[in-house]
Structure 1
């Protein structure tokens, strides 16, 4: 009998065109190559919709709508959590008896649910979320957005205690690993670096002809980094800089 595993992800992880999606997508491929039977649960929103590519690595793929805007807000739960609460997700997790891998704090609305008490539950942390949202707030110029991000950071800091309901926390970086180990001493914490497709070094010798910056330019922090590069690094440089987002 193959090992079964639920994977709950905050987004549709294909195309794998940004950091979190890359980690989830290539983790999915790696686990599938080991013969693990995966039940993949994805939240659709914006331009991230159902992808047939995911079916070849999964026993079954489920899609859920994310409740965005005011309807996704809650007085106690962070927006990134509450907007991904979906009764059908809980029903599907209950129906198939298998361990659950929650990708990101975003997906953990049912981590401590009584119906899942006997399951082995893993949380893959992609950030220290409350610190990340504080940084986002400090980089935005919009007062309304700044207030929302600071509020989200405070709620996430309080909500993070839900990790005590996990059997295992998988951190993605050494600094995050130290943080979670220290703060959640009663929970097993393992450092599992990001999954990616580059298993061989394929760098060419010599120097390139340009510098490439790639990032999500809808995030103020990355936009600020681009402006710094343009104004402080490449303004007087003879090396062309290509910015892709």
Structure 2
């Protein structure tokens, strides 16, 4: 018997060029590969458009506009939820009894208008969103945006306490599982790892010739990490350094220009970024969040396809990947470890350890089969 599944995505899942889209798109492709007939619904609100590439994986596709802030502002409902409440979507989902996969707490507002008492509904939690928005507020420079992020965090925390018990919740990290169980008192909470593009540990043994920090540089958290490295680590380590990612600010570009033996690669293509990851000798990935939620795809990219990784505790908290990385607590420790590793080859033994730590946890086919068991 054919299995039909509604998937509601918070954003256009193609192209898979950021963490959430990568997770959603790889899940769609693997579900399709395993014979699930997908009815895709997604919200289109930016330059990502309505790509034809999705047609090959889906039985049907429906696209909805995301409401503007002025049209969906509420003192009770978070904007990321209120802006995705759509009557046409509710009507289409209510026309049958197929299971529903909601991508993100963002898409859960429609549940208020639906009868789900005899229906399988699984909510993919991309982060513990109240923490995520609290951290956005902490690093934001604009007072208006900071105020918005703080208010959204407050509303999300209250909203999460009202999530329906009938649903299954699938979190990307064990930290988030604990939060949903202990803070929001939800019972049916599962750990479902993120779905990375990389499925084999392919980092080449031996040596590269530069250090790399990569990420979406338009994200305040990532810009802060890049600036911190340039100002506090690069000058001490004296190793060749590359900062790479989307939309670097003028400030970041200027600081990078002032640093010797440092290069800023702005807006690399996917092929260029993959090439940098494979050729780097050391991946330097600090994280400055005070509270940790979710998992960073750039860490998995570096571990699957790169060589040495130097991180701090927040980058690996709750991931179980500490043993695959070199931990540093401050700028001096980062610089010292970088200099120790710079002439130290990446070995076969390290590669084997990564295969053991990553292979079973981030196996997309295994995790998709488990997901299917929860939905039927």
TM-score above 0.5 = yes
Distance 2:133 2:242 in 1: 29
Distance 1:220 1:186, change over 3 A: closer
- 2:210·2:239 contact (CA, 8 Å) conserved in 1? no
Deviations 1:117-159 (A, max 9, x none): 4321111101110011111101011111111111101100000
Alpha-carbon distance in structure 2 between the residues aligned to 1:195 and 1:77: 29
Alignment of 1:124-203 (within 5 A): 124-203=124-203
Q: Secondary structure at the match of 1:213?
A: strand
Deviations 1:148-180 (A, max 9, x none): 111101100000123334421101011111212
What are structure 1's unaligned runs of at least 5 residues?
none
Q: Give secondary structure in 1 for the equivalent of 2:91.
A: helix
Determine if contact 1:72/1:82 at 8 Å carries over to the other structure: yes
In the aligned structure 1, how far is the partner of 2:199 from the partner of 2:220?
32
Relative to the length of structure 1, the TM-score reads: 0.94
Larger radius of gyration: 2
Q: Give me the whole-angstrom Cα distance separating, in 2, the residues matched to 1:42 and 1:210.
A: 40
Contact 2:90 2:114 in 1 (8 A): no
Q: Does 2:67 match 1:83?
A: no
- The answer on whether the counterparts of 2:12 and 2:48 sit within 8 Å (CA) in structure 1 is yes
Query: How far, CA to CA, are the matches of 2:166 and 2:137 in structure 1?
Result: 29
Contact 1:4 1:36 survives alignment (8 Å): yes
Cα-Cα RMSD: 1.6
Give the structure 2 partner of residue 242 of structure 1.
243
Distance 1:210 1:83 in 2: 44
Structure 2 distance, partners of 1:213, 1:92, is 44
Normalised by the size of structure 2, how large is the TM-score? 0.62
- Count residues with an aligned counterpart: 245
CA distance in structure 2 between the partners assigned to 1:153 and 1:60 by the alignment: 34
Match of 2:227 in 1: 227
**Change over 3 Å in CA distance of 1:81–1:95 after alignment to 2:** same
Partner of 2:66: 66
How far the C-alpha of 1:228 sits from its partner, in A, is 0.8
Are the counterparts in 2 of residues 164 and 184 from structure 1 also a CA contact under 8 Å? Answer: no
Q: Contact 2:69–2:79 (CA<8 Å) still a contact in 1?
A: no
Contact 1:38 1:60 in 2 (8 A): yes
Residues 183-218 of structure 1: CA distance to partner in whole angstroms, max 9, x if unpaired? 354521110101122111111112223333332333
Deviation at 1:28, TM superposition (A): 0.7
User: Is this contact kept in 2: 1:122–1:168, CA < 8 A?
Assistant: yes
In structure 1, the residue matched to 2:17 is: 17
Give the distance between the partners of 1:87 and 1:76, measured in 2 at CA: 19
How far is 1:52 from its partner?
Answer: 1.2
Q: Are 2:94 and 2:114, in contact at CA under 8 Å, matched by a contact in 1?
A: no
Q: Deviations over 1:59-79 (max 9, x none)?
A: 111111111232232121101
Counterpart CA distance in 2 for 1:43 and 1:25 is 14
Aligned twin of 1:40: 40
